[in-house]
Amino acid sequence: MRKFWTASVAAMALTLITSPASAQQPWSVSGEITDSDAGGTGPHYDNHVIHLDAGQRYRISVDSSALDTVAQLYRAGTTEPVAQNDDGDGLNPRINYTAPASGDYTLRVLGFAAEGRGAYTASVATLPPLAPGQAVPWSTSGRIENSDASAGAEGPHYDEHMLRLEAGHRYIIKVESSAFDPVARLYRAGEDDVVAENDDGGDGTNSRISFVPETSGDYALRVVPLANDGHGAYRASAEMAPPLPPPLTMFQRMSALVFRVYEGALTNADGEGGANGARVDDYLVHFDRNQERLIMLDSPEGGFDTVVQVLRASNREVEPLASNDDSGGTLNSLLQYKADEAGDYIIRVTSFAADGRGRYRLRVSE
């Protein structure tokens, strides 16, 4: 995960207070990150004060071929960014932001790396208001083309559709295409954080999102090809779905497994039966035809990495019929085995390492 460097609060507050008068929109500037800029031991940065109007959508861009830049946006006089971006278009940051209140904001341009230096251009442009969300049920046919908006310098291109969703209702959103592998992404209107996403949840490579919004409002459905060069026709739809039924709490009966418990220890006195020369203890167990047993092996004191195996009693020198080393994220062993034929079988206790020694507990279900 990439981490953004942050200057000290005192230094940041001083920089914000002493910044020049705010610029009106549209606005652009050419700048350069140099050794003389603020930043201390972290990335050096430039601050630019811009005026934003409440309710207006803005596109903030920083471009550089000299360094990997990061864009951070602050309310004037504050020390926590209200928006930030690193690589919105290649290595160049992009911020889509709707100002909640009119006033001065500080755009901070810094290098991603502490040693980042070089020239850049920064710009702020106004965006048209988002179209009002369309009521659900809804469907449309569209086409991804080279003229569509792009998620990066080399694609993929995408379409966006605005939907009006109500809090607490469950929605099924689908994107289908035979021309490309579609990805469906859902955003709150005017925001850049994905609230729901799916690639292959529908039939084949089609996408399907099941979503229950926490708040009512407009949401943007973005249709994006999985591959950067994906283009062609698609169909998108949204419909309300009944809520999921409550989870079941009633059961028909209770059952319990009865285990035979064997306790022992692998020692130097045991035979060498493992493929790597590990010591083994073999237990003779009879299976009926199609009988299934749960076999659990653990080393209570963590003395060694256990391995459990099932072999035919008539030939203990061949490859095991079944084997397990680590189960459930632990070094213990768990194996479920169903016998094809009635007869005597060997349940073998051994270790993963040749020098494995220590106490163990073997449990075999009836």
The amino acid occupying position 267 is: T
The pLDDT tens digits of the residues spanning 315-352 come to 887 889 999 988 767 889 999 999 999 999 999 999 98
Whether the pLDDT of residue 198 is over 90: the answer is yes
Q: What is the pLDDT of residue 37?
A: 87
Whether the pLDDT of residue 17 is over 60: the answer is no
Q: What is the pLDDT of residue 297?
A: 94
The pLDDT tens digits of the residues spanning 47-96 come to 999 999 988 888 899 999 999 999 999 988 888 888 888 877 778 888 88
Q: What is the pLDDT of residue 19?
A: 44
Q: List the Cα angle 90/92/93 in 5-degree steps.
A: 115
Q: In the predicted model, what is the mean pLDDT of the chain?
A: 85
Q: What is the pLDDT of residue 4?
A: 39
CATH code 2.60.120.380 region(s) in the chain: 9-127, 138-241, 259-365
CATH class of 9-127: mainly beta
Mean pLDDT score, 245-251: 75
The pLDDT tens digits of the residues spanning 90-146 come to 788 888 888 888 999 999 999 998 889 999 999 999 988 777 889 999 999 999 988
Mean pLDDT score, 278-302: 91
Decide yes or no: CATH 3.40.50.720 for domain 259-365: no
The Cα 127–Cα 134 span in angstroms is 20
Decide yes or no: CATH 1.10.287.3610 for domain 138-241: no
Q: What is the pLDDT of residue 211?
A: 93
Q: What is the pLDDT of residue 15?
A: 40
- Tell me the two tokens of residue 291: 């009988």
